[in-house]
Every structure is written in structure tokens, then in C-alpha cells.
Structure 1
Amino acid sequence: MSSITKFTNCHLIDNGKLYQNTDLYVDNKTQKIIHKPLNFNNIDNIKIIDLKGEILAPGFIDIQNNGIYGLNFSNLNTNSTDEDIKEFKLFYKDAMKKYLSTGVTSLCPTVTSNFSDVYLKVLPIYKRSRLNNQCDSLGAHLEGPFINKQKKGCHPVETFVDANPTIVKPEDKLLEIYGGEKNLLENVCIITAAPEIPGVLELIPFITQNTNCVYAIGHTMTDYNTGLKAINNGCTMITHLYNAMPQPHHRDAGVIGLINTPNVSEKNLPYFGLICDGVHVNPSMINLAYKSNPEKCVLVTDAMHLIGLPDGSYKWDDQIIVKTGDKLYLKDTTTLAGASTTLPQCIRNLMKWSNITLPEAVKTCTNNAAKSIGLEKEKGFLNVGCDADFVVLDHNGYVTRVFKLGNEFKSSDINEDIEYQIETEKSNNKHNNSSRISAVL
């Protein structure tokens, strides 16, 4: 029996453009986008979803996210029992369902610098999924431990390692830390490492060719020329631009200068993650990076597990994180400890700070995000053959509904101005009705 869903009375966002009054069709069996049927008489069942003039866009993709709704993606260790792992999996499933409500339909669970036993236990949980009731994992993002102590951020230095080729075969060290080639092939999407760490430059071709992972520069003190060598070896991404790296100088561009360097072809310029929360990066520097190369800009949340939790102090391993609104700092320091701003809010920030349209901003965490990890034929686009993962947006960029492989979920992205107006109108109507009743009596 053939069955399709037709999204109608809507506008579509894709490729940085708004396609007005355009319908979209989904095969309910494959849960993928299809062409408009040539003959509707051959369709057994047609479900019509009227979006009443709102906007349909691909589901958002978050390629760097450390934790959500109280769940730390790195929170298993040597002492974790089978029961601990079972509970962690249940917690993970619940958190991924909740995160779907923000409009993110797939993400790369990010595991910060850790010991090898942690990777052995957590990575299998993040194997790529295709589910219709929760946010999907696209494979883990391994941020460390091959990173520079001078740009450690909140990563624990006792976990840091190198792959010095004079001591060990670099790929052997990589596999030892991350739990073997199978663990990387099946469960990992991105590896962030500093190219100046001994052995890392030599490892880039192995990472990109043998494990099919994306290699990203991050938490680094590397200079511009070493960055170019990394790109020539296969680097295609920079992790959270500006953060945990030397800042550019007009005679020493550093890592940041790689995003539009004339020494690399336009095609090979690296994608760069950008935390657009107004805390990690000043809005003017957000605008500078975006305008430099909008085709390679990927908005990320870099969210910590405290996203969605109330303000306060929270223990994180042997450290304390203080949450105040969207700001997260290590206690009694000025060290940022990740973020707690949602991806749709980052989109709205980018629209404001770079004076761009909603379609242009949405492109950064749909089209660009999918292309940065090689999934553009499956995710992040409204092309035929892509998964039916969608967000419905109002014209201010707020998520009003979420669809995961065709199943609808309620949004948690609230436009407080609209909510205030609605409550005010309800209150006024109640007052007016009471006045009318009093008058009649």
C-alpha cells in the first residue's frame, strides 16, 4: 500500500533561499522526501499537513554538543558498572528526545578529553542512528585528548597525550586511545586535535582515509603554516573558531586566517564551527568570520549538559561549573566551560549580528553542517532522497513544530514576546467579558 504526506500552504527554506508557496512530499514508508507524484490515483493514502503560511526547513544539525538536559556525553569511566551503563543509556535516550524539541534532529555527541576506558564505554552508545522518536546521533565528535595544554579550556590535562613518531607509530597510539579501528569506523564522526602535537600531522591522512572521520583543528597553538600543512594532509574543519586558539595578527593570521586563505583553493577551504551565543565570541567577530566565508560557516552550540537546567553551581568531575543564564564558567575563574544557548537562538543571533535573512542563517546549521561531515545526500537538505527531518518556523525564526522522520513533536523554542502578547490578550478578554457580564447583571 502506497502512502504519502503532503506539506502544503507553506514556504520552504533550502540552499539559503526561501521558496514561496511550495509543497513538499514524503513517502511514509521510506520516510524520505520524494518528487510530487505524477498520478495521485495510484496513491492509497494521502495525509495533508497544512502549515498555514509558516516555513518548512530541514531539521537542524548540531555537530558539537557536550551534553544536554543534565546528560554529560563523557560521563562513564573505569568504575562504571553494567548497571551504570544501562542507566546511562536510558538517560541518553530521554535527553535525546527532549533535545529534539529545540529543532535539532541530529547531532554529534561530543566527548571531551578522556582516558581510553571512557571511549571504550561511551562510543558504542553514539553509533549512527536513524530514529523517528528522538534526536539522532551522527557519530561522536572526539574533542581531544591530542590537544595543547596551553589551550586546554576546561579539559583535564592529566588525560592529554601525543603520538610522537620517534616513540610510537602514530596510528597505533590513536587506536589505543580511542579503542580500536572498529570503534572509530562505526561510532565516530569528527576528531578534533592540535596539529602541532607530535604525530598529529602524520595522523590526518589515516583519520580521514582509514577511519572515514573528519579531522578538525582545535585547542591549538599552531601557526598559520602548520595549519596549511594540516589542510594539505586532509583537514577540512576548524573547531569553534576563535576559541582555544591564538588570535589573529595582521602579520600572523594563525588558524583563523585559514578560513579564507588565498593559499588554498576555495573548494578546500575548511568549514569552521562558530558558537553564536554572544558569550564565546563577540558579535562583531561573528560577523567578520561569517562574512569572510558564509559557505563554510557552521553554527554549533558547544552545549554543556547544563543546558535546560536552572542557574546554580554544578559539579563536573573534579571541577565546579557556575551557570548564570547562558553563561557557564569554571568556578572562581574566567574560563568558559561550554555553552547553554540553543541552536535556534544562535540562528536568530546570526541574523541580527550579520544582518542576513532567515534562509541564509538556517543554511549554516542545515546545508553547511551536513556538507561538513559528508551527509548532504541524507540530511540537512530538502532534496529528494533526504530524510523527512524538518522544523517548522515562523517568520521570526522561532521553531513552532518539529518532524522526525515524519512524526510530529512539540517545540520548546518559545517566542516570549508572542507568549506575552497572547497572555495579555487573554487577560484583556477575560476582563472585558467580566465587564460585559457585570453590565448585563
Structure 2
Amino acid sequence: MPNESVLRVTNVRLLRDDKLVDTDLWVADGKVIDPEARFWMATNENDYAPGRVVDGHGGIVAPGYIEVQINGAYGFDFSSPSITDEQIELIARNLLATGVTAFCPTIVSSRPERYLIVMETFHRVIDNLEKKRLRDQHLTTNKGASAKILGLHLEGPFISPDRNGAHEKEVLQVPTNGITSLIECYGGSLDDVAIVTLAPELDGAMRTIRELRERGIVASAGHSVANIEVAMEAVDNGVNMLTHIFNAMAPFHQRDPGLIGLLGLVNDERPYYGMILDGVHAHPCSTRIIERCHPEGLMLVTDAIAGMGLAPGTYDLAGQVMEVKEDAAYVAGTNTLAGSIVTTDACIRQLREYTGCTIEQALLSASAHPARALGAKASQKGSLAFGADADFVLLDDTLHVVQTYMAGQLVYERK
């Protein structure tokens, strides 16, 4: 009898090695496998045959999307000390409908007592989700599954008060004592942290960047007025990511391009950069310029707040009131943008519309690029190479999500 843990997805165009190719996707025990190697190892037809076959009807199979900056969604704010395990899991489940299979919940600048509560909650949720994954790994369909939390993105409070954006100025700090300052602020262990956004011009920031790199935590430069000299020094010390490029940073100037100028470095030194493509945060011309400057570094991010997936209204962000009007979110009573309400799959389609880039480039910007930026924490994600985690999305020709799979399990299907 064929093995039910073996899945074959046929009649699809598969994104592999950065190209769309007409080939089948084979999965066994939650991993992408080489069907030729399986054939030669099989002792009979049943050993080789898949237990499940999915007809993709000519669609596109891409790695599951990875969201590295999301503040909340569906009515709940990740920075709220009152957020519950169930609310976090609800967001993680609902993200599957947008093609997101892994993400970094983002906590914005807060007071130490808030970090302590929120990070304890996330530590518990991360542990519980892993236990559920192990418990349910034998299932072929798992509609109770959740997108995987790769680690937290701590955006602040070590940022510039001159580029605070929607972050509350009163809670901002300076990392004078390097990573010790971070540990004191965040409340102890950094084991669940994947990314820290900080302003490299602050006192102690360069030391902090080096110490984050030593711990395998991504140091991302953002909410900053750093000039190009400071920006290049930050890269030398370990910065390999820019938080929502163009937004909350010094504007580009031909004699001092600031953080944006880092995309003019030689290839190996250029950082990855997040970009919010909600039709509000970046003009199409700006998007085309930056994408053509460094396409391999582009990471699509939503920077979504609690209003994502819901009607216009008022929502919370770290204790502040945000107002969602039509397709944008603002600090209530101001014109200051406060994240977005866009979804990752919509960002992919927006990138195609704005730049005319290839389908491959658009999909890589939401999968392979963020995985590469995260390094070891996502080493088996963002790819459909043999041996990678079998997290993938089946898309129609308009790049809308038809099905989402995690570890070869069907976890979402469009109605």
C-alpha cells in the first residue's frame, strides 16, 4: 500500500532554484524529496508510489511566505500585555489564508514592564505550537494548524526620537551598555528573538549590533537619522537588514544617501530591506528604483496592525489609538502612517503591478529573501530544494492563494 505520508503535487509550475519549472513536487515526512532518488531506493511500486496526489490544474507552487514584520491582525495587537495565547494562535491560523507559513510577530517600542509580560506570553505560545506540531505531524490535512513563529521582531525602543513614526517617544531608550541594555529592557532571555530594529547612530549601538550578531539575532537598522558613514559602519559591525525602507529614516540625498545609500554598496555588503507595498507607503516610481537597484535584497513586509482583515475603525498599537481609513492606518488625529492593513499576498501582486518584475522575483521577495536574511532561524524555509521543509502555497495565475501546505499537510483551502 502506498505511504500516505508521501505527497505528489502534479500539473504545476514549481519555483525552484529561483526559476519556475514544469515539474512535480514530491514530499515525504514533511520534507521536499528527490523522486529520482526515491525511485532507485524503492524495492517495489508501492514503495515508490505516493499515497496522495494533488492536481494543481496548471497553477504555481511557491515556498510558503515568510513575514518578518507584522504588529498584529484580526483585531489583536502583539504589543498588548493583555493579548492571549488563543488570540496569537488565531492570527497564526488566519495568516495561512494569505500564504504565510512562518512569521516574526513584531513588538513595537514599549516600557520594560510591557515587554516582560508580552515576551512571556510568546514564549509559552511558541512552545505550545511546537508541541501541537509534533502531535499532529502524522495528519495529511490539518485545518487547525498555525503559521510557525520563527522568533520575535523587537522594533525599538532603541530608535531615534527624530524618526519615531508611530512609536511613543516617551518609551525610547539608548543602548549605552550594549546588549546588556537590551536584556534589561526586554526582561531577560533573548532566546525567542529573531530580529532587533535599532538606530545605529545611538550611543552603544555599534557594540549592540556586534553582540546581536554573535547571538545569531538579526540587527536591522531603522527609525534612524544615520548618515552614510554611520550606516556603512553599521554594516561592517553586522547590520544585514533595513526596516521598512524609505519610511522612518533620513531621506535620500545625493551627497548623503543615509541608510538608503547602503543599497549602493558592492553586492556582498548590501543589506536586505523590508518594503511595505500597500499602495500608500511607497510610490510606484520609488518602488521601481529600489527594486532594480537591489532585487535580491527586497523583502515584502506588511507592517500590519490589529486592523488587518477588519473594517475601518480604531485599533490599538502598544497602548496608542490607531485609526484605519479605507486602505491606510494612521496615529489617530494625525497624518502619521502607523503600519498597514495589507496582506502579504496582496503585496506580491502590488510589486508586480508597480515594477513589472517577473513572477519569480515577486514570489522570492516574500519567501527566499526573508529566509536568507534570517539565516539559521529559517534555514529550511523559503525554498523547495530537496531537503527543505515542505511549506508551500498553490497559486492561481493571478497569484491568489488556492491552497497552503505546511510540512506537506493541507492547512488551508480556498472555498
Report the TM-score, using the length of structure 1 for normalisation: 0.84
* Aligned-residue identity in percent: 35
Partner of residue 236, structure 2? 232
1:315/1:231 CA distance change after superposition, 3 Å: closer
Does 2:85 match 1:73? Answer: no
Q: Runs of at least 4 residues of structure 1 off by over 6 A? A: none
Q: Distance in 2 between matches of 1:317 and 1:204?
A: 25
Aligned AA (2:257): A
Partner of residue 337, structure 1? 338
CA-atom RMSD, angstroms? 1.9
Per the alignment, in what secondary structure is the counterpart of residue 408 of structure 1? Answer: strand
Partner of residue 349, structure 1? 350
Does 2:226 match 1:252? Answer: no
Aligned AA (1:178): Y
Does 2:380 match 1:378? Answer: yes
Q: Which moved more, 1:63-72 or 1:112-121?
A: 112-121
Q: Distance in 2 between matches of 1:34 and 1:216?
A: 34
Does 2:269 match 1:273? Answer: no
Q: Distance in 1 between matches of 2:151 and 2:121?
A: 9
1:409/1:326 CA distance change after superposition, 3 Å: farther
1:91 is displaced (CA, Å) by: 1.1
Q: Distance in 1 between matches of 2:7 and 2:99?
A: 20
Q: Distance in 1 between matches of 2:24 and 2:33?
A: 11
1:225 is displaced (CA, Å) by: 0.3
Aligned AA (1:406): G
Pick the aligned partner of 1:220 from 219, 224, 239: 224
1:317/1:188 CA distance change after superposition, 3 Å: closer
1:318 is displaced (CA, Å) by: 4.9
Q: Distance in 2 between matches of 1:194 and 1:315?
A: 24
Per the alignment, in what secondary structure is the counterpart of residue 230 of structure 1? Answer: helix
Alignment of 1:58-137 (within 5 A): 58-76=63-81, 88-127=84-123, 131=133, 133-137=145-149
1:45/1:18 CA distance change after superposition, 3 Å: closer
1:332 is displaced (CA, Å) by: 2.1
Does 2:402 match 1:390? Answer: no
Q: Distance in 2 between matches of 1:319 and 1:45?
A: 52
1:352 is displaced (CA, Å) by: 1.3
Aligned AA (1:235): V
> Does the 8 Å contact 1:69/1:99 carry over to 2?
no
1:369/1:315 CA distance change after superposition, 3 Å: closer
Per the alignment, in what secondary structure is the counterpart of residue 339 of structure 2? Answer: strand
1:126/1:43 CA distance change after superposition, 3 Å: farther
Per the alignment, in what secondary structure is the counterpart of residue 337 of structure 1? Answer: coil
1:119 is displaced (CA, Å) by: 2.2
Q: Distance in 1 between matches of 2:316 and 2:89?
A: 22
Per the alignment, in what secondary structure is the counterpart of residue 106 of structure 1? Answer: strand
1:74 is displaced (CA, Å) by: 0.7
Gaps of 5+ in 2: 134-141
Aligned AA (2:179): E
* Greater RCO (CA < 8 Å, at least 6 residues apart): 2
Does 2:178 match 1:173? Answer: no
Q: Distance in 1 between matches of 2:360 and 2:122?
A: 30
Aligned AA (2:388): C
1:305 is displaced (CA, Å) by: 1.2
1:148/1:115 CA distance change after superposition, 3 Å: same
> Does the 8 Å contact 1:103/1:411 carry over to 2?
no
> Does the 8 Å contact 2:110/2:318 carry over to 1?
no
> Does the 8 Å contact 1:6/1:23 carry over to 2?
yes
1:301 is displaced (CA, Å) by: 0.6
Partner of residue 136, structure 2? none
1:315/1:371 CA distance change after superposition, 3 Å: closer
1:219/1:95 CA distance change after superposition, 3 Å: same
1:319 is displaced (CA, Å) by: 3.2
Report the TM-score, using the length of structure 2 for normalisation: 0.90
Partner of residue 289, structure 1? 290
Per the alignment, in what secondary structure is the counterpart of residue 216 of structure 1? Answer: strand
1:45 is displaced (CA, Å) by: 5.7
1:250-279 per-position Cα deviation (integer Å, ceiling 9, x unaligned)? 111111010122xxx412211000111111
Per the alignment, in what secondary structure is the counterpart of residue 330 of structure 2? Answer: strand
Q: Distance in 2 between matches of 1:327 and 1:45?
A: 46
Per the alignment, in what secondary structure is the counterpart of residue 98 of structure 2? Answer: coil
Partner of residue 137, structure 2? none
Q: Distance in 2 between matches of 1:156 and 1:411?
A: 40
Aligned AA (2:53): I
Q: Distance in 1 between matches of 2:325 and 2:410?
A: 32
> Does the 8 Å contact 1:4/1:43 carry over to 2?
no
Q: Distance in 2 between matches of 1:235 and 1:11?
A: 35
1:180-237 per-position Cα deviation (integer Å, ceiling 9, x unaligned)? 2xx21x201000000111111121110110x210000000011000000000001101
1:406 is displaced (CA, Å) by: 1.9
1:313 is displaced (CA, Å) by: 2.6
Partner of residue 422, structure 1? none
> Does the 8 Å contact 2:8/2:50 carry over to 1?
no
> Does the 8 Å contact 1:248/1:257 carry over to 2?
yes
Partner of residue 35, structure 1? 34
1:141 is displaced (CA, Å) by: 0.3
Gaps of 5+ in 1: 77-83, 415-441
Highest CA radius of gyration, 1 or 2? 1
Per the alignment, in what secondary structure is the counterpart of residue 101 of structure 1? Answer: helix
Partner of residue 364, structure 2? 363
> Does the 8 Å contact 2:75/2:315 carry over to 1?
no
1:359 is displaced (CA, Å) by: 1.4
Q: Distance in 1 between matches of 2:120 and 2:289?
A: 38
Partner of residue 149, structure 1? 161
Q: Distance in 1 between matches of 2:223 and 2:70?
A: 16
Q: Distance in 2 between matches of 1:315 and 1:46?
A: 47
Partner of residue 189, structure 1? 194
1:229/1:103 CA distance change after superposition, 3 Å: same
Aligned AA (1:228): M
Q: Distance in 1 between matches of 2:291 and 2:121?
A: 34
Aligned AA (1:60): Y
